[in-house]
A = this chain, B = another copy of it.
Amino acid sequence: MAITDHPITAKAHTNIALVKYWGKLDDQLIIPQNDSLSITLDEFYTQTAVQFSPSLAADKVVFDDQTLSATDSLRVRTFLDQVRALAHIDYRASVTTQNFVPTAAGLASSASGFAALAGAASRAAGLHLNRQDLSRLARRGSGSATRSIFGGFVAWQQGHDDATSYAYPIDEQPTWDIAVVALVLTAKQKKISSRVGMKRAVETSPFYPAWITASQTDFKTMKTAIETQDFELLGHTAEQNAMRMHALTLSSDPTFTYFNADSIKAMNMVRDLRLRGISCYFTMDAGPNVKIICHGSDAKRIAQHFQTAFGQDHVLVTRPGAGISISD
């Protein structure tokens, strides 16, 4: 095992959760409170190159052509420390990241970001991790990154420690016609990070224990929906699960919400489309953006409908994406 003499590049896609991860059992190891399930998206990804070198005095992190300050790169450097410990090396690294996720889109760029970083940094450190171990490593950077190692439909089993909490694929190359229309709606309110938001829910929401029970049921239902390719069951369960997660923010103390005015409008538009016979469902994460799960064959007209309301540039159509790829 030795560090590589050239940069290693990894590409990982972001994912959106159909059964949400919202709360940690272990803050340090990032062990979640429940199993979660996501779909990896093809349009949004992060590409990261890493090289460790004896000649570097400090880690250097370049993000979208900007060199990050020591403060801004802290989370990346902490993650590199974990890779160094794993590989038994003590070299500093040069990290160059390009993010192909619209900034401020709230589309979980930390998921693709830490998945790509885990892939590139581990290989550059001389490690050849299998995908399960890669997902465990990515988990240490950001919980949702655990799932971005795999393509298509992915489950993250909760586990109870570092060894048992990892992702696995459920259907890596879905043969059914599924698409996600992502609406990028600007947040005017100062955002509460998912890290802070979920911690507040765990500590203050009286609904939290019931959420765990309900989400474990949703996880089983969602697996069935994917196995039987039951779109209505998948969509309905995803919508319910998302709104129960957002009910946790409302029921936290102090109460807060990721909804903005446009989120409410967009969710009502999805309900109206359903009343008109177009099968589609919404989900939302730790930001105001609404993602619409639909049949691929309906994606274009659904996108046009929302472009009329929110503008051309605010609507993106995406489909199931691939798992991580790492250069040799």
> Could you tell me if A251 and B189 are in contact, using CB atoms closer than 8 angstroms?
no
Chain A 12-44 interface residues, beta-carbon cutoff 8 Å to B: none
Q: Which chain B residues lie closer than 8 Å to A206 at the CB level?
A: 210-211, 213-214, 244
Q: Nearest Cβ distance between residue A200 and chain B, in whole angstroms?
A: 12
Q: Which chain B residues lie closer than 8 Å to A251 at the CB level?
A: 207, 214, 243-244, 247
Q: Nearest Cβ distance between residue A254 and chain B, in whole angstroms?
A: 8
In the assembled complex, A147 has its CB within 8 A of some CB on chain B:
no
What is the predominant secondary structure among interface residues of chain A facing chain B?
helix
Q: Which chain B residues lie closer than 8 Å to A246 at the CB level?
A: 250
Binary CB contact string for chain A from 253 to 264 against chain B (1 if under 8 A, 0 otherwise):
111010111111
Q: Which chain B residues lie closer than 8 Å to A262 at the CB level?
A: 261
In the assembled complex, A209 has its CB within 8 A of some CB on chain B:
yes
> Could you tell me if B253 and A250 are in contact, using CB atoms closer than 8 angstroms?
no
- The winner among A209, A213, A255, A260 for most chain B CB atoms within 10 A is A255
Chain A residues engaging chain B, CB cutoff 8 angstroms: 188-189, 206-207, 209-211, 213-214, 236, 239-240, 243-244, 246-248, 250-251, 253-255, 257, 259-265, 267-268
